[in-house]
Amino acid sequence: MKIDDWDQIWVGAGLATMVADGRSNQEIADGAIALKGDRIAWIGSSAEGEQRAQACGLVVSDAKGIWITPGLIDCHTHLIYGGNRVDDFEQRMSGASYEQIARAGGGINSTIKMTRAATTSSLRDSAAVRLMRLMAEGVTTIEIKSGYGMSLEAEHAMLQVAHDLGRDYPITVRKTFLGLHALPAEYADDRQTFVKLVCGPWLSALHSAGLVDAVDAFCESIAFSVAETAKLLEAARLLDIRAHVHAGQLSELGAPQLAAQYRALSAAHLEFLSAEGAAQIARAGTVAVLLPTAYYTLQQSKPPPIPLLREMGVAMAVATDSNPGSSPCSSILLALNMACSLFGLTPQEALAGVTRNAARALGLESEIGTLEVGKRADLAFFRIVRPAELCYGLGVNPCERVIRGGTARDLRC
């Protein structure tokens, strides 16, 4: 690319390129980054950047005191839902467990009721508030799951809202059909029929409507079995759709092994993960998505086996799991902090978890997740002394500017 092809350049910034550099991430302390259109055109030192910009008469933007990272990626959320679950919270604070609340008809089923009763516009408006909070922290890509409709009509509505949010806001949205999330009351005595509908006509209709980038299942003792989950993953495979799996949140059922068998993009939670399960997801290239804010909300005591994941070379992502029950959280920076403080990730690992590895968890690693020439110009500007500070703060948002696809985004949008 010719120098005078550049549209804009920032100099004097720290660049957390997030390109893997051994166990840490590449950083350029006094760097410059140039953009052309929606792409990163050049990365180098400030001195060289200034020289080149001067030679072609391009105005230089000063970014002293700023660290630039790739736009952050929240790769696992349930952002769209009706109502909230403050009632569950009160019960939990009185000693009831997540499982007890679910078995007593609260939990996910109450959200299904509220989501079905909500209008499309109210689903959209309430999700947009959460979306904007994440965007204000530098998030430029988000995955949003369905799973609170649990009828074809209501799942379609959720995925359509996710699609519309991506169209109407300057953020990339990946839509996941979480077909096996909770068994709705009307199928309580006929789960086989429900699973067949999800894996057959529902998946097919939603896929035909262009609303399914991936599928997901909650494979857990209180949700769906390994055999049921396998049916959805197999149906998706036949349509060439990739999968995510909620695996090992509350028990060890063999879900990570199933995710590996289907070369799932990601396996999430993994508090319960055997050495064999870790070895298999490592071999399959499945990303482990860690959800520390859910772990915190549920006051769990057994964190995911981080040393095992490291030893096996499993790529680790970190996400908010934003949802009304176990993670009423709209802060990727809080998830970063908790990934370190509760799970023992290093700040370098946590940061890779919301950039490079999160991109991989969505199958988007060739487009986003690192600052590299040719990748999409999704950038977040933070006023911090060094990148680890993003994991250190609690309730602090040092994000000052976001560029998405080469265009500045209003942080208040």
Minimum CB separation of residue 311 from Zn ion in Å reads 25
In eight-state DSSP terms, residue 89 is H
Sign of CA dihedral 216, 380, 20, 347: negative
Tell me the torsion sign for CA atoms 78, 362, 176, 301.
negative
Nearer to Zn ion, 321 or 378 (CB): 321
Closest distance to Zn ion from the beta carbon of 301 (Å)? 20
Q: Where do contacts with Zn ion occur on this chain (CB under 5 A)?
A: 321
Decide whether 6 or 224 has the Cβ nearer to Zn ion.
224
* Between 271 and 321, CB nearer to Zn ion: 321
In sequence order, the β-bridge partners of residue 216 are 244
Which DSSP letter does residue 82 get?
A: S
Which is nearer to Zn ion, 290 or 333 (by Cβ)? 290
**Burial of 26 from C-beta contacts in 10 A (0-12 / 13-18 / 19+):** middle
Q: How far is the CB of 319 from Zn ion (least distance, A)?
A: 8
Task: Tell me the residue nearest to Zn ion as measured from the CB.
Answer: 321
The nearest distance, CB 74 to Zn ion, in angstroms, is: 12
Nearer to Zn ion, 43 or 162 (CB): 162
For 58-90, give one letter per residue: b (16+ CB within 10 A) or e.
Answer: bebeebeebbbbbbbbbbbbbbbbbbebeebee
**Listed residue (161, 185, 167) closest to 81, CA to CA:** 161
Of the candidates 367, 340, 366, the one whose C-alpha atom is nearest the C-alpha of residue 353 is 340
User: 379 and 400 in contact (C-beta within 8 Å)?
Assistant: no
Q: Smallest gap, in angstroms, from Cβ of residue 216 to Zn ion?
A: 8
* Residue 76 beta carbon to Zn ion: minimum distance, rounded to whole angstroms: 6
Tell me whether residue 220 or residue 378 sits nearer to Zn ion (CB atom): 220
- For the bound state, the minimum distance from the C-beta of residue 78 to Zn ion, rounded and expressed in Å, comes to 6
In whole angstroms, how far apart are CA 256 and each of 146, 214, 216, 274, 357?
Answer: 21, 17, 13, 9, 18
CB of 374 to Zn ion, least distance (A): 32
Query: What are the C-alpha distances in Å from 98 to residues 203, 299, 319, 343?
Result: 29, 10, 20, 20
Please identify, using beta-carbon distances, which residue of 45 and 84 lies nearer to Zn ion: 84
Q: 347-379 b/e with 16+ CB inside 10 Å = b?
A: bbbbbbbbbbbbbbbbebbeebbbbeeebbbbb
**Residue nearer to Zn ion on the CB measure, 108 or 136:** 108
Do 327 and 295 form a contact (C-beta atoms < 8 A)? no
